[in-house]
Amino acid sequence: MLNVLLIYYEPQPSGQTTHVLSLAQGLDRSRYNVTVVLPANLQHTVQAFRQTGATVVPLPLRKVVWSPSAVSTVTRRIRRQNIDIVHVHSQEAGLMARIVAWMAGARRIIYTPQTIDIRQTRWRWLYVLIERTLASVTDTIISVNEADRNRLIRWGIPPSKVVTIPNGIALDAFAEGSVDARDLRRTLGLDENRPVVMQVGRLSAQKNPLAFVEGAARVVRDRPDVQFALVGEGPLREAVAERIRTLDLDRRVRLLGWREAAFRLMPAADVVSLTSRWEGTPYTLLEAMAWSRPVVATAVNGCPEIVLDGITGLLAPPGDVEAWARCVVRLVSDPALSARMGQQGRRRMEACFSLPAMIECVEKVYVGDPEA
């Protein structure tokens, strides 16, 4: 029996939560004892982890620098629980948690950054230096897409230390026909008879929701019947709301706020969008394709590895709202094409992005299997 400590940080629930929660639920309990360290302010998430049967340790974690109490608590856990594997998730946790784990004498240190881009590009050189330095105390880095794995290697990290394991989801939660799209639209305050373009994601610089709003303004020039829905909260909410008002889109773009299990809203959409400036392997695209919905996404990081352009959806350059709008208009104007792409997306999900496959690969990394 191996003792595994999962550590992650994020300011509010998002794809990182989905990923770590999937691991906590999916790891073979006959082989692994699981403990999870996460921010104490994520109260609902704490409860979700406890329901997996894992030992949960909420701590007052900060984005980069941890308090002395957090450091000492994690150190004691590693030493007293005889932790075999420390698996660190997210860039933010990756700094302090790997240092603490190494100093506490952890036997194996695994790191999944999810994304290797940062908002403040002027500090990219420092971030690259930190990743290269901390790779020396990391046994394996799990990249969630091949493009980022190649970048890590170009940064000077040994290829033998970096493996690609894309995110996966439990497909049994996405039974087509289990949700009435028209009823769901009415529940969300949307017109059941008009096309819906939906984006699920934090209203932050990374997800670039302002590009979604700008693109919506261009779409309605050709298709004034299309309606738009943004699901999520974040620091750009007021800026997004103001831009909606400025562009006179109040009756066309709805801000639906944060919703628990937001993926269950996607059947209300004809097209699911992602306007991100950078990503890893975003769950919102995986979830949309699992619902057999065509997607329009920006061609960043792992997105082209999920979305086969012209087959399971359409890709646009990041920040190119005109190209994004043309993709959306093409799909809402051709329901047969949209349906084919949605069906192809579902088949691709089943073949390449299932949760059991992801768990199996992670477990191989845990035991040092070179075939991971």
Ranges of each domain in the chain: 2-168+354-366, 171-352
CATH of 2-168+354-366, one of 3.30.870.10, 3.40.50.2000, 2.120.10.30, 3.30.9.10: 3.40.50.2000
Residue at 294: amino acid letter:
P
Provide the 10 A C-beta neighbour count for residue 357.
14
Can you read off the two tokens belonging to residue 102? Answer: 């190494």
Are the C-beta atoms of 12 and 202 separated by less than 8 Å? yes
pLDDT above 90: residue 327: yes
Are the C-beta atoms of 98 and 76 separated by less than 8 Å? no
- Give residue-wise pLDDT tens across range 18-58: 899 999 999 999 999 999 999 888 878 888 899 999 999 99
Q: What is the pLDDT of residue 70?
A: 93
Global pTM? Answer: 0.91
Task: Provide the CB-side half-sphere exposure for 82 (13 A, CA).
Answer: 4
| 54: nearest Cα among 87, 79, 103 | 87
Q: What is the pLDDT of residue 35?
A: 96
- Spatial distance between the Cα atoms of 345 and 289, rounded to a whole number of angstroms: 5
- Give residue-wise pLDDT tens across range 234-284: 999 999 999 999 999 999 999 999 998 899 999 999 999 999 999 989 999
Residues 6+ apart with CB under 8 A from 180: none
Can you read off the two tokens belonging to residue 297? Answer: 């996404």
Are the C-beta atoms of 269 and 196 separated by less than 8 Å? yes
Torsions phi, psi for 79 (to 5 deg)? -80, -45
Reply yes or no on domain 171-352 having CATH 3.40.50.2000.
yes
Residues 6+ apart with CB under 8 A from 88: 7, 8, 94, 97, 98, 101, 109, 110, 111, 112
